[in-house]
Structure formats: C-alpha cells, structure tokens
Amino acid sequence: MSEEVKTENFDSKQYVTFVVGERLYGVEITAVREIKQWSPTTALPNQPVYTRGVLNLRGTIVPVHDLRARFGGMLTDATENHVIVIASIADQAVGILVDAVSDILNVSPDDTRSVPPSAREMDLEAISGLVARDDQMIALLDLTRLFPVNTFMAA
C-alpha cells in the first residue's frame, strides 16, 4: 500500500491557480518563474488584441498577455491590485495578466476531467483539463497552445 501512495504522489502535479473575474485557472508550477505586481507595458504594433505589450524584466523583454481578453473578454482595466504571472514557454518568458493568484494545488491524474465537447474550439485547445475543488471548476491551461511561441512579437 505504501508503494501505491508513492506512485500517486509521483504522478500528481502541482498547479499555481489564479483568478480572472469569476473563473479559476491553473498552470503547472514548473512553468511559473515568478509573480509580480502589475506594471505598465510598452505597446508594440501588429500584436494580437490580448497582448498588452512588453516589459523589461531585469534585462529580458517579456510579452504580457491579458488572459481575460485571450478568452474573448474585454481588456482588463489593470490596477496595482492585478498581478502578472511570469511563465516559461519553450524557454521564452511570457507574462500573463490575471486578477489575483489564488493557491497552489496538488492534482492527481484521477482528479483531472476532460473539457466537454460543447466548449468553444479555442477553449478546447488551450485547456488541458478541468479539476473540481470546493464546488468550483479550475481550468488547467496548456500554455504552449494558449500562447504559441511563434506568435510572440511577430510583426
């Protein structure tokens, strides 16, 4: 029985969860580099509507994307209460603007559910699964599909 517990712990993954409006999202903790308070960005031409611009993070130029707008909502009216989750996608630093970071969640494969086929195609591509916690659903994001590296700062 102790081997079974070790296997379950080995298979489970940790996710950083965050809030956008009334929705909860999570990304694998191994992809998160840091979490920082919102700071204004520099807009660049010819970017997707959800790209807020870039910021200089200790010498690294980081594109910042608004998760609310990425999923079809309005651009966030960002204030000092908002945060940017700095994540790594294929060795590229990317910032994700969210309302607040919520928690760190341990998720076993048995806890993850598939996205229903009735969801929009964009959601199906960007959400790798759903997890129920405390009467809420947390959408687990696939960052490589949500923000493809080849679209960063394309002119």
The stretch 55-76 carries a mean pLDDT of: 94
How many C-beta atoms lie closer than 10 Å to residue 39's C-beta?
Answer: 14
pLDDT band at residue 135, thresholds of 50, 70 and 90? confident
Residue 127 scores a pLDDT above 70: yes
Domains contained in the chain, CATH given: 2-147 (2.40.50.180)
Question: Average pLDDT, stretch 98-113?
Answer: 92
Q: pLDDT digit string (tens) for 7-45?
A: 445 688 999 999 999 999 999 999 999 999 999 999 999
- Looking at residue 124, its pLDDT comes to 67
